[in-house]
Amino acid sequence: MIWPWKRKSKKRMARVVIDGPINGSTRKLVLKALKQIEDREFPALLLRIDSPGGTVGDSQEIHSALLRLREKGCHVVASFGNISASGGVYVGVAAEKIIANPGTITGSIGVILRGNNLSKLLEKIGIRFETVKSGVFKDILAPDRALTTDERELLQSLIDSSYDQFVKAVAEGRNLNEETVKSFSDGRVFTGIQAKELGLVDDIGDENDARLLAAQLADLDDKIKPITLGKPKKKLMNLLPGSRIFSKLMDLIEMELSSNGQILWLFKP
């Protein structure tokens, strides 16, 4: 007997949705779905991205997994939704083709690292940190003081290295020269139409257009309906009226709190 999740799907199309900030929970869901797609030998994947970006490592792992999936013979087409910026772009350029809406907000290719200098506030309320550390940089980005010159230089070199990785991935994924990518990779955002002119996306269209392209690349029936994998489990709270808005807000708050001091590929409006 072949269990349903082990059944080969050589005539079917998979669909994976990346919705919201790309963080650890997103990575786990997407990587699990991509493994299922590989095991079941789906010939095509429709990747729907509606994300402002996220953490560097999580975006890179999804990007690498998509490239491995393509090496196995799966045709990957990305559909950019309302927004696919920064880390969303990094993930998207791993696809064979990219389709964006004319008004999609995309781009924001760059890296940001933020900390909080609360020294004046802490001084006003009479709080002072006592720090014992093993190395001069161990408390870098501590909230009770400003960065030193050496710390700023160190962090800038870290950002520059991550930025170079980002530029290289976009250049390779979109078959562009790295200098060309750098010419528009200063954090600015674009519409889908502008992105097409720059070579960041292949064509303008909606998710159905992306589905049709994926079917064409994989030689599938153009009436094929994708099977969505990697759906997050529904929480009881999400069933309440207005819960989707609340859930989105909580995702953004969780991202902001958990990523303080982390390198981000994140669109900041």
Nearest to 267 by CA among 22, 77, 64, 36: 22
Catalytic pick from 59, 86, 162, 259? 86
Query: Which SS3 state, helix, strand or coil, does residue 203 take?
Result: strand
97 given a catalytic annotation: no
Does an H or E element contain 27, and which?
helix 24-39
Q: Yes or no: say if 131 and 139 are a contact pair by the CB < 8 Å rule.
A: yes
Q: What amino acid is encoded at 256 in this protein?
A: E
Q: Radius of gyration (Cα) for the chain, nearest Å?
A: 21
Hey, is 123 helix, strand or coil?
Answer: helix
CB atoms within 10 A of CB 149: 7
Question: If you count them, how many residues does the chain have?
Answer: 269
Cβ atoms of 18 and 232 closer than 8 Å = no
- Of 60, 24, 66, which is closest to residue 47 (Cα–Cα)? 66
The catalytically annotated residue of 138, 225, 231, 235 is 138
Number of neighbours of residue 27 by Cβ within 10 angstroms: 20
Separation of alpha carbons 30 and 17, rounded Å? 8
Q: Does the active-site annotation cover 86? A: yes
**Does residue 84 contact residue 74 with C-beta atoms inside 8 Å?**
no
Task: Return the active site residues.
Answer: 86, 138
